[in-house]
Amino acid sequence: MIVTALTEMFGLKHPIVLAPMGGVSGGHLAAMVSNAGGLGLVGGGYGNAEWLRTELGRVTAETQRPWGVGLITWAIDPKVLDLALSYRPHAFLLSFGDPRPYAAKIKTAGCKLICQVQDVAQARIAREAGADLIVAEGAEAGGHGGSRATLPLVPAVVDAVDPLPVIASGGIADGRGLAAALALGAHGALIGTRFYATTEALGHESAKRRIVAARAEDTGRTSVFDIVRGYAWPDAIDGRAIRNRFCERWHGREGELTATLETERVAYQAAARDGDCDTAVVWAGEGVDLIHEVESAATLVARIAADAEALLKRSAARIVAT
């Protein structure tokens, strides 16, 4: 068993956190990760109240273990924050924006505050806000993120916020990634893309099939999916997705896309509803190279933890007295 500040904070069996993937990490998936000994986070995304009621109801019904929820910070509606807290999550993850206006409310509710950051300056702000845990997200990650790579970002954040525990995210999809995260000084891994390709994840089967089939080179960072969906993301943040026909057509022509939004949006919404992944976005990170099938979340959690443990033991055995 691998024991870290993360496992001790929540009484987990494994230092593995399900990323709060908006609309993908539903209550069932979060509960299955928590039941398997990790920490499941429901992906509240932009804060749709009806979706949250359904999924938070589900996670509380399906697990007795610690679980949490995440919201995109710049999109927070205080009423939705209250709604999420009323389900008494053990952890609340804020990402993309200044957590300081919301930190006190979350902590007063008895919830651990987890802040996901994309650079060292944001990590310092998260510490100032009173974060209990900081997730350092590298640009290899699926979904939205910054420009720093996981390998140098994680130890830089570890040093900047010491002794606050840090979790690594971005490109981690197996036991090797978890072992590497621990070697970098992190207390665990937050994993998104790998859990998208699970039977329990919400989202179209066609999206899961794309993730299994994709290579890392097929992913790229772009703003076109945010433009067509009408989300006003801050300038420095775009998202990593599997490049598709829509992306090939509009990436680099964002101004023209904005000008023809009315027609494009109708077609886009239909594609998203029907699981047409030639048009609709499939957020996914460079870890797709390591994903070969859709599996259950419990199988994944157990395998990632066991492989990391075996790898760390083998690595330790390589050290000989001289």
Ligand X SMILES: Cc1cc2nc3c(=O)[nH]c(=O)nc-3n(C[C@H](O)[C@H](O)[C@H](O)COP(=O)(O)O)c2cc1C
Binding status of residue 175 toward ligand X by CB under 6 A:
no
Contact at 8 Å (CB) between 176 and 306?
no
Backbone angles phi, psi at 139, to 5 degrees: -70, -5
Q: Kindly give, in sequence order, each residue whose CB lies less than 8 Å from that of residue 145, ignoring residues fewer than 6 positions away.
A: 118, 137, 138, 139, 170, 221, 237, 239, 240
Kind and range of the H or E element at 168? strand 166-169
Return d(Cα 245, Cα 68) in angstroms, integer.
35
- Per CB under 6 A, which region of 159-167, 193-201, 254-262, 271-279 contacts ligand X? 193-201
Binding status of residue 283 toward ligand X by CB under 6 A:
yes
Binding status of residue 287 toward ligand X by CB under 6 A:
yes
Site for ligand X (CB under 6 A): which residue of 9, 10, 14, 22? Answer: 22
Q: Least CB distance from residue 307 to ligand X, whole Å?
A: 16
Q: Name the residue nearer to ligand X (CB basis): 303 or 313.
A: 303
Q: Over the Cα atoms of the chain, what is R_g?
A: 19
Name the DSSP letter for residue 213: H
Which residue in the block uniquely carries the two structure tokens 């023209």?
256
Binding status of residue 70 toward ligand X by CB under 6 A:
yes
Binding status of residue 193 toward ligand X by CB under 6 A:
yes
Which residue in the block uniquely carries the two structure tokens 């390591």?
290
Q: How many residues does the chain have?
A: 322
Q: Name the residue nearer to ligand X (CB basis): 290 or 312.
A: 290
Return d(Cα 15, Cα 70) in angstroms, integer.
18
Q: Name the residue nearer to ligand X (CB basis): 64 or 81.
A: 81
Give the per-residue contact string, 126-165, with ligand X (x = CB under 6 A; - = no). Answer: -----------x--xxxx----------------------
Which residue lies nearest ligand X, judged by its C-beta?
192
Q: Name the residue nearer to ligand X (CB basis): 169 or 223.
A: 169
Q: Name the residue nearer to ligand X (CB basis): 300 or 311.
A: 300
Binding status of residue 63 toward ligand X by CB under 6 A:
no
Site for ligand X (CB under 6 A): which residue of 81, 139, 172, 311? Answer: 172
Contact at 8 Å (CB) between 150 and 176?
no
Contact at 8 Å (CB) between 165 and 5?
yes
- Using CB under 6 A, list all residues that contact ligand X: 19-22, 24, 43, 45, 70, 72, 95, 116, 137, 140-143, 169-172, 190-194, 196, 283-285, 287
